[in-house]
Amino acid sequence: MGQRDHYEVLGVSRGASADELKSAYRKLAGQLHPDKNPDNPDAAEQFKEINAAYRVLSDPEKRQTYDRFGHRDESGSPFGSGGPFAGGVVDLSDLAFDGLLGDLLGAFGVGRGEKGDLKVELEVTFEEAAFGCEKQLSYERIVGCTDCSGSGSAPGTKASTCTACSGRGRVRFQQGLFPIPVERVCSRCQGKGSIVTDPCTGCRGAGVRTQKHTIAVTIPPGTETGASRSLSGAGNRVRADKPAGDLELILRVKPHTIFRREGDDIHLSHNVSFAQATLGAEVEVPTIDGPGKLRIPMGTQQGSVLRIKGKGVPHRTGLGRGDQRVEVTISVPTNLTPKQAELLEAFAKETGSDEGIGKGKTFVDKLKGLF
Ligand SMILES: [Zn+2]
Ligand SMILES: [Zn+2]
């Protein structure tokens, strides 16, 4: 279920002042109040929506968080699909990211209550992706603090019960137009029910900390940019009492200076001389296995694509390889010596392709003028 933008819901601009928000909310709340629309389920839905939007936008801190992060996870959505009115209590999970843990998670792009999944990009060279390789990947992740076993309290001390929620982790209150009590996560203890009075020095009371983690990753031959793999439990541990999320590894292949991949074929552009293209030749071209031989057939045209079988990327099936495709470009000779020019002129006459040569200021004349 997608959530509409809070500003859109209230019909105000993102820069709306507190007063503008309040009057927009009051106007809509008056129109959509369930008492005035007893037979309109749409109005009830919209009423919930404007209340959710106003609750976030009317709180400067929550509004700031919302502006930065947008909607957080659906489970944190106060009016999610779980039938919030069913039990007579509305669940208003707090969107705020307070304190150190919030900063930590925010820096990792993780919202409270999320699973702690982490995405890491791994860069490999063209050859490493083609032939496969073993890589050591180092990345920062959030782990449970071992000093305090995740409690956040200095060893030998205990957290005290939160007085704001009497240890329940949630508080109830009556809100504005709501006819029923509303419940939300206790902002004092952030739902934990206890307050760390003597914080652990290792994690400053958060119960989790960042740690550099190194894993060995095997890249199979024939891997391409965008290939991904999920490693269970190698992501962030958002809360000490929850298992770590997964790590999604996304591969990025560095572009090669001369080779370009097209599936399992490797594309190369190679320049030959006019004479080589005309008379045919065997030339040396780079391949991913080192220098290779390419036969240029007689009369090869500019832009012709020649194939070197089996010099491409190994197929993912483990059987066989793609080809190397060589696009031939032909260079037109420049800076000819007088002797070369004469030979070429004779060649042109012989082949009947000499139209215009020798008339007016030609290349040959220019050369002659130099000596
Ligand atoms: Zn600790
Ligand atoms: Zn509390």
pLDDT (0 to 100) of residue 334: 85
Question: Could you tell me the distance, in angstroms and rounded to a whole number, from the CA of residue 185 to the centre of ligand 2?
Answer: 8
**Residue 55 falls inside a structural domain:** yes
Q: What percent of the chain has pLDDT over 70?
A: 81
Q: What is the mean pLDDT of residues 135-148?
A: 89
Same domain, 264 and 303: yes
Q: What is the mean pLDDT of residues 129-137?
A: 91
Which of 16, 50, 71 is the C-terminal boundary of a domain? 71
Ligand nearest the Cα of residue 161 is: 2
Asked whether residue 327 carries a pLDDT value surpassing 90, the answer given is: yes
Question: Could you tell me the distance, in angstroms and rounded to a whole number, from the CA of residue 92 to the centre of ligand 1?
Answer: 29
Asked whether residue 297 carries a pLDDT value surpassing 60, the answer given is: yes
Of residues 6 and 294, more confidently modeled: 294
Which of 220, 255, 290 is the C-terminal boundary of a domain? 255
**Residue 271 falls inside a structural domain:** yes
The pLDDT-based confidence of 40 (bands split at 50, 70, 90) is confident
Q: Which CATH number do you get for residue 274?
A: 2.60.260.20
In terms of residue numbers, what domain contains 356? 338-370
Same domain, 352 and 248: no
**Residue 18 falls inside a structural domain:** yes
pLDDT (0 to 100) of residue 161: 93
**Residue 96 falls inside a structural domain:** no
pLDDT (0 to 100) of residue 365: 60
Question: Could you tell me the distance, in angstroms and rounded to a whole number, from the CA of residue 113 to the centre of ligand 1?
Answer: 20
Q: What are 52-64's pLDDT values in tens digits? A: 888 888 888 888 8
Same domain, 12 and 122: no
pLDDT (0 to 100) of residue 222: 92
Asked whether residue 78 carries a pLDDT value surpassing 70, the answer given is: no
Question: Could you tell me the distance, in angstroms and rounded to a whole number, from the CA of residue 240 to the centre of ligand 1?
Answer: 10
Q: What are 161-188's pLDDT values in tens digits? A: 999 999 998 888 766 666 667 778 888 8
Question: Could you tell me the distance, in angstroms and rounded to a whole number, from the CA of residue 214 to the centre of ligand 1?
Answer: 22
Output the pTM of the full model.
0.56
Q: What is the mean pLDDT of residues 207-215?
A: 88
Q: Which of 8-12, 73-77, 153-157, 206-210 has the lowest mean pLDDT?
A: 73-77
Same domain, 221 and 305: no
Question: Could you tell me the distance, in angstroms and rounded to a whole number, from the CA of residue 171 to the centre of ligand 2?
Answer: 7
pLDDT (0 to 100) of residue 64: 82
Same domain, 326 and 351: no
SS3 letters across the chain: CCCCCHHHHHCCCCCCCHHHHHHHHHHHHHHHCCCCCCCCHHHHHHHHHHHHHHHHHCCHHHHHHHHHHCCCCHHHCCCCCCCCCCCCCEEECCCCCCHHHHHHHHHCCCCCCCCCCEEEEEEECHHHHHHCEEEEEEEEEEEECCCCCCCCECCCCCCEECCCCCCCCEEEECCCCCCCCEEEECCCCCCCCEECCCECCCCCCCCEEEEEEEEEEEECCCCCCCCEEEECCCCCCCCCCCCCCCEEEEEEECCCCCCEEECCEEEEEEEEEHHHHHHCEEEEEEECCEEEEEEECCCCCCCCEEEECCCCCECCCCCCECCEEEEEEEECCCCCCHHHHHHHHHHHHHHCCCCCCCCCCCHHHHHHHHC
Work out the mean pLDDT of the chain and round it to a whole number.
81
Same domain, 269 and 321: yes
pLDDT (0 to 100) of residue 62: 81
**Residue 86 falls inside a structural domain:** no
Of residues 67 and 280, more confidently modeled: 280
Ligand nearest the Cα of residue 163 is: 2
Asked whether residue 276 carries a pLDDT value surpassing 90, the answer given is: yes
Question: Could you tell me the distance, in angstroms and rounded to a whole number, from the CA of residue 144 to the centre of ligand 1?
Answer: 8
Same domain, 134 and 213: yes
Same domain, 309 and 342: no
Question: Could you tell me the distance, in angstroms and rounded to a whole number, from the CA of residue 54 to the centre of ligand 2?
Answer: 24
Question: Could you tell me the distance, in angstroms and rounded to a whole number, from the CA of residue 183 to the centre of ligand 2?
Answer: 12
Same domain, 5 and 63: yes
Ligand nearest the Cα of residue 144 is: 1
Of residues 267 and 68, more confidently modeled: 267
Same domain, 16 and 55: yes
Asked whether residue 198 carries a pLDDT value surpassing 80, the answer given is: yes
**Residue 351 falls inside a structural domain:** yes
Ligand nearest the Cα of residue 185 is: 2
Question: Could you tell me the distance, in angstroms and rounded to a whole number, from the CA of residue 114 to the centre of ligand 1?
Answer: 21
Q: What is the mean pLDDT of residues 227-237?
A: 88
Same domain, 233 and 284: no
Domains in the chain: how many in total? 4
Asked whether residue 362 carries a pLDDT value surpassing 70, the answer given is: no
pLDDT (0 to 100) of residue 59: 84
